[in-house]
Amino acid sequence: MIGRLTQFGALALAAALLLSACGSDDFLGQDLGEGIGLLDPATGLVDGLGNIIVSVDIGDPITVHVPRLASNTQYVIRITDANGVEYNPLDGILATANEQGTIYQSTVVQNLDSRANGAAVLAPPGNYSISIHTIDGSLVKSLDFQVLDKSRVYCSDAGGSRRASFQSTQDVFVTVERAGGTLNDGNYDVHVVSDLNVALPDGGGLPDTTTNVTVSGGVGIANLGMFASGAWDIVVDVDDNGSYTPDTDLISRHRRLHACFTVQSVNTGAALVEQIGADREGNHRQVFDPVADQAEPVADVHARVTSSEASAVPQRLGVAKYVVQHQDVWSSGDPLGDVDAAQLVEIDPVQDFSLSEAPWLVWPRQHLVAGCYDVVIDVNRNGSFDAGIDLVDNIDEVGATTCGVRIADPACTGNVQVTNQETVFQTLDTAIPIQGTVAAGALGGSLTIASGAQSNILTLPAGTTIDATVPLFNGVNYVTLAFYYPSDQTCARTMIVTQGTDFNSLFRVQLVWDGDTDMDLHLVRPGGGYENGGGGADDCNWQNCKVGLAGTGTNTIDWGNPGEGDDPKQDVDCIACGAGIENIWMNQISENGDYTVYVDAFSGTETDVTTKIFIGGALVGEVNCGAMSASTATDSCRAGVIRWNGTSGSFLPDGATAMDFP
């Protein structure tokens, strides 16, 4: 294939133009306030979308959101039934309220067990209370909820015992129970959905590949087979309509961070080194900026182990989480001493036989001390590091053992100056240029973009100038520029950029990869064909659909009605441009039907290619195509289908790879 030049220009719009396009300033005021966490009225149990709920099913994780507590303060969380009997874990969970005094959507129980007799028994239906206590035992708040016995689906071994973690050589089973619900005996399709997908919307499409389960006498068990590393959820299509119907179909887990099952690495006994440092949404993060007051979601240090990264260490209760002084090498027996002397070590619940869990606040912003640190998950909670059991993050964004996490030094914020942008601003462009200066002596740096449960990291070269094109996510983006100096000093500056592509678009597709290669995004119209390499009247891609970052250019295809109003638009053709992002969106749609999303490995080999689907501004799907390589059996990936019915749409994930697709 013939190479081509990157066109990644920046067309920043003036604020007046943006306000004119939006019609009011609500676009910035409302979204930005919610993104920063200024609006925080909810108290209680929450579901995957942050909505308050009053009940959970047996075996479901329990997540709470509790504001109006003392800031940067630890609390003990306990769960008891109506008779005062305490449930798993018996010694409680130790959680930290952030700077706003909020325990932010924290999972306090993965499996509500009673361990009074030494055996794990799921809690029976009934009334329960979550009580929040100070460290000295004083009751602060009590939240009541119900445990319901409804029909359910969960992952298990061949005997039907719950299990959340498997190895690649083990078969995964699914168990369906009528329990106290209304599920009839019969045959049902079981769909395996990537856990990278957000909570399925009403009518959300389900993958075509299914396994059949027969429910007889109220119980059915089916073998799903073996899986590679990753995390998945399960949906039973009770009404057999090929899409998800809330309150009718059965879904295994309701929150993105809780997979029904994971496939994890085999425990080899070696030190388990992973990226663990994270922001409060679960995005892995290298640099935390204590002076970024408005960027609280990315300032506090959280710890998270994603499903496929953790070791398959049997563990059902809580793990301890430490932030410690950095070590280049960790060996068994190394003592663990938390750097935050003002607090006890946090204890976080995990799933059945899995270290998959939600982000957990381990070092609040006001306690941060500039320097270089590691994050350690003490699985067996013995206060020392055990290779092959515990996990450690002592690596930077490129895998070098320089620091697990860096706390920026407030004294040198002035070392990083941005000369062409404001600290807080808004744009309709899908990427922005950032230019500026850096004080002499920097060894190199990084640029982190985070927006909700999405993030990206670009490596910045050493030098005294900044000249970067920064791809943005829709909504509020927290952009942190950081430069590293001798003696482990980090100097940083954080900007807040609100991006509004989805303000006008009906749907948008985003391709994300590390950018060192040339991956191409394609969108094929209903009834059209995929054009591997580019071109084609029915396939929007780099060759015929590119209209620039702000969407103001022209393309050469014509879909639906005459004119460009109902044609798709692609912002850029990103080639070896750092952390790569390409977007295709549609502001008008005159053709109903299936719009198919493809990715082409135009040149090179990439290990982590992901597509994200936004409908009406909401992230409805995320499909990881995995490793892709040009001119091989993974040259192309069919990410999935956006099904548009005239007024709304749903997404059907796929993820199949091939040399080409007909």
- Residue 576: CB atoms within 10 Å: 12
pLDDT of residue 593: 94
d(CA 253, CA 63): 12
Task: Give the phi and the psi of residue 267 in degrees, each rounded to 5.
Answer: -75, 115
DSSP code of residue 12: P
Alpha helices in 439-586 (DSSP H): none
> In the structure encoding, which two tokens stand for residue 269, read together?
């006994």
pLDDT of residue 340: 92
> In the structure encoding, which two tokens stand for residue 591, read together?
């053709």
515-556 pLDDT, tens digit per residue, is 779 999 999 999 999 999 999 999 999 999 999 887 888 899
458, β-bridge pairs: 447
d(CA 456, CA 470): 10
Q: Which helix (H) or strand (E) holds 30?
A: helix 26-36
pLDDT of residue 135: 92
Q: What is the CATH number of domain 152-263?
A: 2.60.40
223-239 pLDDT, tens digit per residue, is 999 987 777 889 999 99
More confidently predicted of 332 and 572: 332
160-164, 213-217, 461-465: which has the minimum mean pLDDT?
Answer: 160-164
**How many Cα neighbours within 13 Å face the side chain of 50?**
12
pLDDT of residue 19: 26
> Is pLDDT at 136 greater than 60 in this prediction?
yes
Relative orientation angle of helices 15-22 and 26-36, to the nearest 10 degrees = 100
d(CA 27, CA 182): 44
Q: Which residues contact 542 (CB under 8 A, 6 or more apart)?
A: 4, 520, 521, 534, 570, 573, 582
> Is pLDDT at 642 greater than 90 in this prediction?
yes
Residue 63 — very low, low, confident or very high, per pLDDT cuts 50/70/90?
confident
What distance lies between CA 484 and its chain's CA centroid?
27
pLDDT of residue 538: 97
d(CA 661, CA 167): 31
What distance lies between CA 20 and its chain's CA centroid?
33
pLDDT of residue 414: 95
Q: What is the pTM of this model?
A: 0.79
Is there a common fold for 1-39+409-502 and 44-148? yes
Residue for token digits 């808004």? 426
Share of the chain above pLDDT 90, in %: 47
> Is pLDDT at 30 greater than 50 in this prediction?
no
Contact between residue 170 and residue 226 where contact means Cβ atoms under 8 Å apart: yes
More confidently predicted of 34 and 599: 599
Contact between residue 350 and residue 318 where contact means Cβ atoms under 8 Å apart: yes
Q: Is 35 helix (H, G, I), strand (E, B) or coil?
A: helix
What distance lies between CA 602 and its chain's CA centroid?
27
pLDDT of residue 398: 80
Return the percent helix, strand and coil in the chain, to nearest 5. Answer: 5, 45, 50
Q: What is the mean pLDDT of residues 267-293?
A: 86
Q: What is the mean pLDDT of residues 376-384?
A: 91
107-131 pLDDT, tens digit per residue, is 887 777 765 444 556 778 999 999 9
> Is pLDDT at 33 greater than 70 in this prediction?
no
148-198 pLDDT, tens digit per residue, is 999 999 999 999 888 888 888 899 999 999 999 999 999 999 998 877 555
Q: Is 74 helix (H, G, I), strand (E, B) or coil?
A: strand
Structurally, at CATH architecture level, domain 1-39+409-502 sits in: Sandwich (2.60)
476-524 pLDDT, tens digit per residue, is 999 999 999 999 999 999 999 998 888 788 999 999 887 779 999 999 9
pLDDT of residue 546: 92
d(CA 253, CA 331): 36
Domain ranges of the chain: 1-39+409-502, 44-148, 152-263, 272-407, 504-658
pLDDT of residue 550: 77
**Highest averaged pLDDT of the listed ranges 284-293, 343-352, 368-377:** 368-377
pLDDT, the chain, mean: 84
Residue 458 — very low, low, confident or very high, per pLDDT cuts 50/70/90?
confident
Q: What is the mean pLDDT of residues 304-326?
A: 73
Task: Give the phi and the psi of residue 28 in degrees, each rounded to 5.
Answer: -80, -50
Strands 261-263 and 165-166: parallel
Residue 3 — very low, low, confident or very high, per pLDDT cuts 50/70/90?
very low
DSSP string, 284-340: B-SEE-TT-GGGGGGTSEEE---GGGSB-----SEEEEEEEE--S---TT-B---S-
Topology annotation, domain 44-148: Immunoglobulin-like (2.60.40)
d(CA 330, CA 336): 11
Strands 489-499 and 507-513: unpaired
> Is pLDDT at 27 greater than 70 in this prediction?
no
**Highest averaged pLDDT of the listed ranges 3-7, 150-154, 262-266, 622-626:** 150-154
Q: What is the mean pLDDT of residues 375-393?
A: 91
386-422 pLDDT, tens digit per residue, is 998 888 999 998 889 999 999 999 999 999 999 999 9
Residue 317 — very low, low, confident or very high, per pLDDT cuts 50/70/90?
low
